[in-house]
Amino acid sequence: MNGRRVLSNLERVLQNPAYRPPDHTFPQSIHRYVLNLFFCCAAAIDAITCAITEKMAKNGLSPLFPMKSHVIPLLTARGMRAGEIIVFVSTATNGIDAKGRVSVPAGFRSNVAGGPFDGIYVWPSFDGPWLEGGGQALMDDYLDMIEAMDPYDEARQALEQSIFGEARTLSFDANGRITLPKDLAEHAALDGKVTFVGLGRRFEIWNPERHSKRAMTARTFAQENKLKLRRPARVAEVGQ
């Protein structure tokens, strides 16, 4: 059995609920952590093996293993490229037709490529009349934070309802468009035009006029609070 088949079978087992204890003894967040840790370790071992094999081949020795990596293609397919950080940036305004179809910015679409489905998650913001959205990475972050709360905490239950209960999975069509459900469009007063706003790990969808006013207020507030920006603390070098 080759390396690719071993990794594929192991991933299939880890992702199948029938092969793991109930969620109350093996939370989804721990499951994802174990799966991701396995792939990181497998990638490191795979890289070392390929390097040794290549060195042997250059020295005229017979390779013990195939030189082709079995792990890296799987990591790429799963959206786990080493060092990759998904960041939604820029602001774009696109038209929305009578059926609720609107084109999602190309950069946003590329950020969610390789996810469990070809599309985005969108839900009505509980902070105001706009929509919030993101890819699987954002939903995983929310799930991890919520699962860290007490299971009987009313705040947890409210967040679960407001995020997961209200979220919609909106798939892209052949032209990179999604179809916004009527209730979501009405929540954000979307009619004729839609503004996508990149906010790092997530994005928002606004009525263009409302966003223009919000952007001016945000810029002023950011200017007044720019000194609050801090660089992350650096780890001290060994020997210092």
Q: What structural domains and CATH numbers belong to the chain?
A: 3-77 (no CATH), 91-227 (3.40.1550.20)
Closest CA to 100 of 167, 174, 179, 172: 179
Per-residue confidence (pLDDT) for residue 86, from 0 to 100: 80
Pairing of strands 131-134, 202-206: antiparallel
Rg (CA), the chain: 22
Per-residue confidence (pLDDT) for residue 189, from 0 to 100: 97
Q: What is the rounded distance in angstroms from the CA atom of residue 175 to the CA atom of residue 87?
A: 22
Per-residue confidence (pLDDT) for residue 30, from 0 to 100: 55
Per-residue confidence (pLDDT) for residue 79, from 0 to 100: 39
- Name the 3-class secondary structure at 122: strand
Q: What is the value of pTM for the model shown?
A: 0.64
On the 0-12 / 13-18 / 19+ scale of CB atoms within 10 A, 28 is middle
Q: What is the DSSP string of 36-101?
A: HHHHHHHHHHHHHHHHHHHHHHHTTPPPSS-SS-SSHHHHHHTT--TT----B--EEEEEB-TT-E
Per-residue confidence (pLDDT) for residue 114, from 0 to 100: 84
On the 0-12 / 13-18 / 19+ scale of CB atoms within 10 A, 215 is middle
- Name the 3-class secondary structure at 237: coil
Q: What is the rounded distance in angstroms from the CA atom of residue 219 to the CA atom of residue 62?
A: 63
Q: What is the rounded distance in angstroms from the CA atom of residue 36 to the CA atom of residue 44?
A: 12
Q: 198 and 88 in contact (C-beta within 8 Å)?
A: yes
Tokens of residue 156, six digits: 């947890």
Per-residue confidence (pLDDT) for residue 204, from 0 to 100: 98
pLDDT, tens digit, 9 for 90 and up, residues 110-123: 999 988 899 999 99
Q: 189 and 210 in contact (C-beta within 8 Å)?
A: yes
Q: 166 and 124 in contact (C-beta within 8 Å)?
A: yes
- Nearest-5° angle of CA 94, CA 98, CA 101? 50
Taking the CB of residue 22, how many other CB atoms lie within 10 A of it?
8
Per-residue confidence (pLDDT) for residue 181, from 0 to 100: 97
* Average pLDDT along the chain, 240 residues, taken 10 residues at a time: 49 49 48 57 62 66 50 41 70 96 96 91 96 95 95 95 96 97 97 96 97 95 92 58
